[in-house]
Amino acid sequence: MPEQTSDLQDGLTLDELRDVWVVLSGSERQEGFHLLPKMDAEDFFLGLPALDMSELVLSLPPEERRSWVRLAPPDDVADLVQASPPEQREHLLALLDDPTRKEVAALLAYREDVAGGLMNPRYARVRPNLTVDEALVYLRNQARAHLGTIYYVYVMDDAQRLVGVVSLKQLFAAPPEKTVRDVMRTDLVQVGEQTDQEAVGQLFAEHDLLAIPVVDAEGRMKGLVTVDDIVDVVQEEATEDAQKFGGMESLDAPYLKIAFFRMVKKRGGWLAALFLGEMLTATAMAHFEDQIARAVVLALFVPLIISSGGNSGSQASTLVIRAMAVGEVRLRDWWRVMRRELASGIVLGLALGCIGFLRIFLWQQVAPTYGEHYLLVAFTVFLSLIGVVTFGTLAGSLLPFVLRRLGFDPASASAPFVATLVDVTGLIIYFSVAAVILRGALL
């Protein structure tokens, strides 16, 4: 990319580098990063995703790496290390000072998708018996030493158990002779070390907080998860769910950076499973071969019937999966959801059935195609659409509950999976209705 390289040599602003970062090669990224002023470079570095941060650090000369790794807070360094090749991790940890290395090692002991793996072990803390003035002096010293951001001040007892929280605004507004115990709040929102990141995200949304403390089983505070950490988590979860909705495994890496054959493997498994499922559709068609031979007109409406069922099921599964993800629907709500979707399926099926009936009736007046028994055919399509759409909505809405109950991710009940399931049952419903209505006429 010679044109971009020459542009970089003419100077670069922070916003310009952010705009072109994704299309730059490794050497161009390093060059552009070096062209930034020191303060802008620090802001840019701290805002990078963990994988990009790791690649940038490892591309820098060895004598520069230490200062940049030490710039990041411990939780970001832990993410950087996890995103790095295994053979480079010890090297990166060795660049840290001893206290920070211990903090990062403790974070790496947690899984990435739990509160302990997201938390920052550095937070503002005070004792409850300090006066307000003493607490402010103590906080000023903490901020100078190692704190990057102070959202809340956490009050700890002698055993390091979390007993309260107070904001800086409350401390500044309180009379100086008051103690921290007098102004702190004890109605805390907190999470355990092993709390799943999705549950942490829901707490942020429910309580509109900037940070949530993480405590161990004894109530000792271990760190805090901040809102900027959870924004990244929400984006990752949304990306993962969107990929599963498409009928595949989540990639777990940026699209352009994942290895080609690894991507094919993640897509091919689900495609093969869906293909085998669709083979049942061919089996069902073969079972009704005699009916199709005697009434060829029935074959004309097979795509209409099965697509309507698949579409209705995909809609229902998408709505329920999203409602589960944001906490609007829980396992115990399955009965309410089923009743709601049963009613929705009947109403939607009636609407589509009426459209299908009118389509056959009016088209027969313009260009006779469906034979003398066209009204019976139209009535068959009408009733079949009611049955297929109703079954599709019920299957699409209840399948996520079944998967959640079995311990699987409800997002696995993706639109292609539901559509494949409903295709087979749609054919059975359609030809069963036709066998009843058209007996003695076409069959």
Residue 8 has a pLDDT of: 47
The more confident residue out of 395 and 420 is 395
Q: Which of 121-130, 291-300, 302-311 has the lowest mean pLDDT?
A: 291-300
Per the domain annotation, does 245 fall within a domain? no
Q: What is the mean pLDDT of residues 15-23?
A: 85
What is the band of 1 on the pLDDT scale with cuts at 50, 70, 90?
very low
Checking if the pLDDT of 441 tops 80, the result is: no
| 73 shares its domain with 153 | no
User: Do 319 and 431 fall within a single domain?
Assistant: yes
Report, as an integer, the average pLDDT of 348-356. Answer: 94
What domain range is 60 assigned to? 2-113
- Domain boundary (68, 92, 113) is at 113
Domain boundary among 113, 148, 181: 113
Residues 292 and 195 in one domain: no
pLDDT of residue 382: 95
In a domain, 234, yes or no: no
Same domain, 290 and 408: yes
Write the CATH number for 286: 1.10.357.20
Residue 165 has a pLDDT of 92
In sequence order, which residues have a C-beta less than 8 Å from that of residue 190 and are 6 or more positions away? 162, 212, 213, 214, 215
Tell me what the pLDDT averaged over the chain comes to.
84
CATH number of the structural domain spanning residue 40: 1.25.60.10
For 172-191, write each residue's pLDDT tens digit. 889 988 999 999 999 889 99
Query: 241 in a domain, yes or no?
Result: no
Express as a percent the part of the chain with pLDDT over 90: 27
Residue 138 maps to a domain: yes
Same domain? 348 vs 269: yes
> Mean pLDDT lowest for which of 60-69, 311-320, 363-372, 405-414?
405-414
| CATH (domain of 179) | 3.10.580.10
412 — pLDDT class (breaks 50, 70, 90): low
Query: Which has the minimum average pLDDT: 107-111, 251-255, 293-297, 302-306?
Result: 251-255
Q: Are residues 210 and 308 in the same domain?
A: no
Same domain, 104 and 132: no
Same domain? 264 vs 412 = yes
| Domain boundary, last residue among 82, 113, 144 | 113
Name the band, by pLDDT with cuts 50, 70 and 90, for residue 392. very high
Give the per-residue pLDDT at 443.
61
In a domain, 382, yes or no: yes
Residue 199 lies in a domain: yes
Residue 199 has pLDDT above 80, yes or no: yes
Look at residue 3 and tell me whether its pLDDT is greater than 50.
Answer: no
Q: Are residues 301 and 419 in the same domain?
A: yes
Q: Convert the pLDDT of each residue in 84-111 to its tens digit.
A: 999 999 999 999 989 889 999 989 988 8
Residue of higher predicted confidence among 170 and 410: 170
Q: How many domains does the chain have?
A: 3
Note the pLDDT of residue 7: 47
In this structure, are 404 and 313 located in the same domain?
A: yes
Structure confidence by residue, pLDDT tens digits, 239-272: 777 666 666 677 766 766 777 887 887 777 777 7
Does residue 394 sit in the same domain as residue 286?
yes
* Share of residues in the chain with pLDDT > 70 (%): 91
Residue that wins the pLDDT comparison between 1 and 390 = 390
- Determine, yes or no, domain membership for 242: no
254 within some domain: no
Are 139 and 220 in a shared domain? Answer: yes
| Model confidence at 10: pLDDT above 60 | no
Contact 210, 154 (CB under 8 A): no
Q: Which range among 203-207, 239-243, 282-286 has the greatest average pLDDT?
A: 203-207
